[in-house]
Structure 1
Amino acid sequence: MAETKTPTPMFPVVQGGGSLIVAWQIKGKKVVVVGGGEVAAGRILNVLNADALVTVVCPALGLNPEVAYRVAQGQVTHVPRNFEPSDLDGADMVLVAVDDPAASSIIWNLCKERHIPANIADVPPECDFYFGSVHRDGPLQIMVSTNGKGPRLASTIRKFIAKQLPKDAGRAIESIGRLRIKLRQMAPDVEDGPKRMKWMIDVSDAYSWDDIGGLTDDDMDNLLKYYLSGDVPSLNVLKGLPDGKDASDIDLFDGSFGFSVGA
């Protein structure tokens, strides 16, 4: 009897039970943190790194050294008392990190009534979102999430991934970001979008991480001269271009043949 083969799916198979991992932009938005202990300190650092406006609600005696430091430095606004419902006024996000399950649930329910996204530490059912284990290198952020099931394992996996990354990956990303800004200024029209995208892909594929990270502003300006033709020069050619000139202005030497080309 012939074996029946299971057909290969035409599209990706749905894997339920996950979370939607997104880069949440909270710059300039009000984040209320209830609590001032070690867990709160980690939450506060996370949202400060995202340029949020942070308000910490906690009696002064409940602040650990790190949170007390951020209060003293003016990095956060401190409300030195226990939580009150009015603390939610104007909040865009609420993070609760207190050792009081009953009080935490009350805050969670208040947030639901006001449609404010909230995270209640160590209580997965009372969380609109989770914090993962994050590797940070300048603009590069890599998050590993176990959907609240194994934070310690997430940290181990994150460290493993970080060791596999190229050295100075963040510096290369900063450079490619500056080049994209320059290119968009040079070719700002919407119809230029597909060509911009293709050329940036070609540039990213043409050079190593170290090469990209080492590009100076002069290098980028010279590189942009190739955009209209859609070409990407070798690094040796790019570095050989005098400021203010392009490939048609100079002799390019190919050592394998022993003579100048393009003269």
Structure 2
Amino acid sequence: MGEKFPEIQGGGSLILAWQVRNKKVLVIGGGEVAAGRILNLLNADAKVVLISPRDGLNSEVAHRIERKQVEYYDRKFEPSDLDDPAITMVLTAIDEPDASTQIWKLCKEKRIAANIADVPPECDFYFGSVHRDGPLQIMVSTNGNGPKMANIVRRRIAANLPPNIGDAIAKVGALRRKLRVVAPGTEEGPKRMQWMSKVCLKWSLEDLCEMEEQDMDELLQSYAPDQIPSLSQVRLGEEPGTWQFDGSFGWACVV
């Protein structure tokens, strides 16, 4: 009974990484806000369907259409646009409050997740301010209270990150994929996670960035005996029995 547990802080959002790769997302509107939404969706490999009169297109949105990066319809939204069962979510970015609310209500009837730009009560989810460096994505959300503040906080966080953190994470991801080939069984899961954690702790950020495919193959030989050599030991080809996890940590990561 003496244990202490985290206090509940209501009013937050459940922040998730929503996988929309190859899924259809409907964007209504073609202005500056829509341009940002479309970029986020394309970066997530979504199939974007855009509905907006051509005379309201932002130059960036027009560029996406010209490059055929989106499926485009030159007209205003129609209720029948939501009849496609493949639509995963709807994003509106139009300067018509009444029309936006109507779209929101239609989405609720069809149980389609929707985001109505600049109207927090009519959003199933929010867009935060995102920092991107290769596979690394960091999102800051103010839960609709202050989008500009989210941008300021995100910039401050990004300014304190190592400049090569994205490369290091990409290398760690490649090593994890190789490890799953070496030890594919589900029963190996806990050991794989612990071993990868030890590598992230012992190797410095610079070591991880410098790691090449041959280094990964050599390093994986230490998985079975559950030992962690340094990068220099890997390249010197020392025997696994001489490797020790000495507790000297470089940097910590959770991947």
Amino acid at match of 1:201: S
- Residue 54 of structure 2 corresponds to which residue in structure 1? 60
Amino acid at match of 2:62: A
Matching residue within 161, 168, 171 for 1:172: 168
Shift of 1:167: 1.8
Shift of 1:236: 1.5
Contact 2:227 2:240 in 1 (8 A): no
2:130, 2:205 → 1: CA distance?
21
Amino acid at match of 2:33: V
Contact 2:225 2:240 in 1 (8 A): no
- Residue 258 of structure 1 corresponds to which residue in structure 2? none
Contact 2:107 2:113 in 1 (8 A): yes
Q: Deviations over 1:18-69 (max 9, x none)?
A: 0000000000110000000000000111111110000110011111100000
Amino acid at match of 1:185: V
- Residue 144 of structure 1 corresponds to which residue in structure 2? 140
- Residue 202 of structure 2 corresponds to which residue in structure 1? 206
Describe the SS at the equivalent of 1:193: helix
Larger Rg: 1
2:190, 2:34 → 1: CA distance?
44
Q: Deviations over 1:73-122 (max 9, x none)?
A: 01000010000012112311000000000000000000000000000000
Describe the SS at the equivalent of 2:49: strand
Describe the SS at the equivalent of 1:225: helix
2:22, 2:11 → 1: CA distance?
32
- Residue 253 of structure 2 corresponds to which residue in structure 1? none
- Residue 161 of structure 1 corresponds to which residue in structure 2? 157
2:219 is the counterpart of 1:223: yes
Runs of 4+ in 1 over 3 A off after TM superposition: none
1:179, 1:231 → 2: CA distance?
15
Matching residue within 225, 232, 254 for 2:228: 232
2:98 is the counterpart of 1:106: no
Amino acid at match of 2:18: W
2:91, 2:230 → 1: CA distance?
50
Amino acid at match of 2:229: P
- Residue 257 of structure 1 corresponds to which residue in structure 2? none
- Residue 28 of structure 1 corresponds to which residue in structure 2? 22
1:58, 1:79 → 2: CA distance?
7
- Residue 125 of structure 2 corresponds to which residue in structure 1? 129
- Residue 247 of structure 2 corresponds to which residue in structure 1? none
Gap runs ≥5 in structure 2: 243-255
Contact 2:104 2:116 in 1 (8 A): yes
1:111, 1:8 → 2: CA distance?
47
Q: Deviations over 1:122-163 (max 9, x none)?
A: 000000000000000000000000001101111000000001
Contact 2:65 2:71 in 1 (8 A): yes
2:67 is the counterpart of 1:73: yes
1:206–1:28 Cα change, 3 Å: same
1:222, 1:51 → 2: CA distance?
34
Matching residue within 67, 77, 87 for 2:81: 87
Give the structure, 1 or 2, with the largest relative contact order (CA under 8 Å, sep 6 or more).
2
2:137, 2:2 → 1: CA distance?
34
1:235, 1:117 → 2: CA distance?
47
- Residue 184 of structure 2 corresponds to which residue in structure 1? 188
Describe the SS at the equivalent of 2:18: coil
Amino acid at match of 2:189: G
TM-score, with length taken from structure 1: 0.89
Identity %: 57
Contact 2:52 2:76 in 1 (8 A): yes
2:18, 2:99 → 1: CA distance?
27
